Structure 1
Amino acid sequence: MEPVTADPTHAPTSPTGETFVARDAVELAVLERSGFVETRHLGSAIVLGPDGAVVRALGDVATPILPRSCLKPVQAATTHALGAALPGVHAALATASHSGTDRHVAVVEAMLASGGLTAQDLRCPVAHPSDTATRTALTIAGADPARIRMNCSGKHAAMLLACLAQGWSTHDYLDPGHPLQRDVVATVERVGGEHVAATAIDGCGAPVHALSLTALARTVRWATTASADATDAHERGAAAVVAAVHADPWAIDGPGRENTEVIASLGTFAKGGAEGVMVMAAPDGHVVALKILDGGPRATSVVALALLVAAGSLDPDAVAALTTLPTQVRGGDEVVGRLRAVV
């Protein structure tokens, strides 16, 4: 894979151990209320073309960020390559940030059972489901938060299955020094084309690795263009994961949620990450990676889709028809403004 050179006009100025700073960000979206620009969303973004070349770079795309859940396609591909049995929708749950519905939980339970495991083996934290209807029903029933309802439980189940397949210990599978996690780092560095700048602990307890938006875009391009017939086991794993997500978009997010609707309606792979990170890969091969600097997720899908439209990759009418994007601004009972990308 050829290295990609960042836009030299946006040379990073952030010190080591930090993401990019405000002076190196650009305005990506604004929120208007009654004709008044009320909020501005600053960040950085990169667009790669089908050949992997940089089509567009906005802001600082060279300073490392923490990709958060946008790293899951590589993590899931790694578990698949290491022997985790992930048939069909199981592979989609391995890369999901799911909303904790009963349907999601049933798949994760099946993943665990396939290895003789239970939810007690998971090391992700307990959580309530983010799906409103499910959370309400469980609250009424007096149910406690549970590890299996946590949005990363599918990723953790896949990690456990990979450890079993390799004969590795499972109680410490989240330790950055565990062979599973070392394999993830090696894969990230190989397909991203740069060394991991730092390792932190994600909200789910797993290691997450800092890399630039440029490298993150490369990892997504690698995953979404991977061949099921590749000689490389990690590439075959990526192909299986992405195919599973397209076959069952509900699994990666949840009913009516942004990632699920973008995949189902536009055929565009979409994976959001905490703290304002988003990656998308359109059917024609264009890839977007972005981060909203203050960590707010509201504008991430809107901006990513606008960048793909601007690249000629998506039909603007099809994007406008999506009803799940948070574009409407309400005042009383009326729509009085909108959130819009300015890219």
Structure 2
Amino acid sequence: MTHAQPLVEVWRGGRLESCHAGHAVIWGEGGVVESWGNPDAIIFPRSSCKMIQALPLLESGAADAAGLTDRQLALACASHQGAALHVEATGRWLAGLGLGESDLRCGAHEPYDRDERNRLIRADEAPCQLHNNCSGKHCGFVTWTKHMKAGPEYVDPDHPLQRAIRQATEEVCGETVAGFGIDGCSAPNFATSLAGLARAMQAFAAAQDSGDARARAMVRLRNAMATHPEMVAGEGRACTELMRAMGGRVAIKTGAEAVFVAMIPDRKLGLALKIADGGTRAAEAAVVALLVRLGALDAAHPMAQKRLPAVQRNWRGLETGELRLAAGFA
């Protein structure tokens, strides 16, 4: 199939109301295990590729030179809520480098965390770049930049850091990137096929400490995410809740416009999916379906049930419909 395939549906009153189509790939040691839609579809992985973007941080020796902890490595792969723990952690990270918030290039936005947002309102304070959901990734970027004595404009596509990230992306995806777009945090985001992204996740899943420098870097990043899920996203978020539900055995990461990836070390499998219309509710339901299919997630776990099958209710609590998998998917 060359086109997006129906993956998730919304039903109301016994009728199909909406349908989310997309692509999904499961990659194993021998290549594609299963796929839906078009495995060769070119996508922007958005924040789902942050562990790839963090590879130069470890491979260069910058992470060890700065004494980064696993909690900080998880933050380097995060799309966080801008909660107090995230803001404090990024602030301490920069201070330890002798740098400050102004050295970041991600821009500021209102935190997604309600408590922190309300604190800012009560204090009549504006959000800063530490609240940006990508500030942990950018802390990793400036750590690399300082270690390598590179220039401060590290989001420039021609900056040595971005050239290193592009090279790492092509190597782990096994393909030449199809150009780039500028992400919400101002960094280049390199376009890949969905199959290439799944292949990269399989490499992370299969990596072992006994391997080469890249394999060891992959293990550290994968384990950091799975061990510190609160740093990767935040309370109420799918990445955090589902990694907790899987007991630290699997690392997962979402990206804007409904991309999701997973690394499953027990089975040496990687997966990647993209919902064509960018719908987050469908991406979360689809990744739950695939994780259940692969035996990584208990379908009866409350965090799985929260997303699939997801009963739709109105403001009075009345059941109005249901989110379901489309026929032929998972």
Q: When the two structures are superposed, what TM-score results if normalisation uses the length of structure 1?
A: 0.88
Q: Partner residue of 2:321?
A: 337
Question: C-alpha distance in 1, partners of 2:294/2:103?
Answer: 45
Name which of structure 1's ranges 181-190 and 280-289 shifts more when overlaid on structure 2.
Answer: 280-289
Question: 1:209-263 CA deviation, whole Å, 9 max, x = no partner?
Answer: 000000001111222332234322x332222111111211100000121100111
Cα drift, residue 192 of structure 1: 0.5
Q: Partner residue of 1:144?
A: 126
Question: C-alpha distance in 1, partners of 2:233/2:155?
Answer: 23
Question: 1:135-170 CA deviation, whole Å, 9 max, x = no partner?
Answer: 12222222212111000000001010011111112x
Question: 1:157-207 CA deviation, whole Å, 9 max, x = no partner?
Answer: 1010011111112x2111111111111111111111000011111110001
Q: Partner residue of 2:94?
A: 112
Would you say the 8 A contact 1:257–1:324 is kept in 2? no
The answer for unaligned runs of 5 or more in structure 1 is 1-8, 11-23
Q: Partner residue of 1:207?
A: 188
Q: Partner residue of 1:322?
A: 304
- Report SS of the residue matched to 1:105: helix
Output the aligned Cα RMSD: 1.7
Would you say the 8 A contact 1:77–1:235 is kept in 2? no
Q: How do 1:1-343 and structure 2 match up within 5 A?
A: 9-10=1-2, 24-49=3-28, 51-82=29-60, 83-84=62-63, 85=66, 86-169=68-151, 171-232=152-213, 234-266=214-246, 267-282=249-264, 283-318=266-301, 322=304, 324-325=306-307, 327-331=310-314, 332-342=316-326, 343=329
Q: Number of aligned residue pairs: give it.
A: 318
Would you say the 8 A contact 2:12–2:321 is kept in 1? yes
Q: Write the letter of the residue equivalent to 2:111.
A: P
The answer for unaligned runs of 5 or more in structure 2 is none
Q: Write the letter of the residue equivalent to 2:225.
A: V
Q: Write the letter of the residue equivalent to 2:219.
A: A
Superposition misfits of 4+ residues, deviation over 4 angstroms:
none
Q: Against the structure 1 CA distance between its residues 322 and 141, is the aligned structure 2 distance closer, same or farther, given a 3 Å change threshold?
A: farther
Percent of aligned positions with the same letter in both sequences? 36
Question: C-alpha distance in 2, partners of 1:228/1:129?
Answer: 36
Cα drift, residue 304 of structure 1: 1.4
Question: C-alpha distance in 2, partners of 1:255/1:41?
Answer: 26
Q: Write the letter of the residue equivalent to 1:309.
A: V
Cα drift, residue 289 of structure 1: 0.6
Q: Write the letter of the residue equivalent to 2:134.
A: C
Q: Partner residue of 1:20?
A: none
Would you say the 8 A contact 1:258–1:324 is kept in 2? no
- Report SS of the residue matched to 1:316: coil
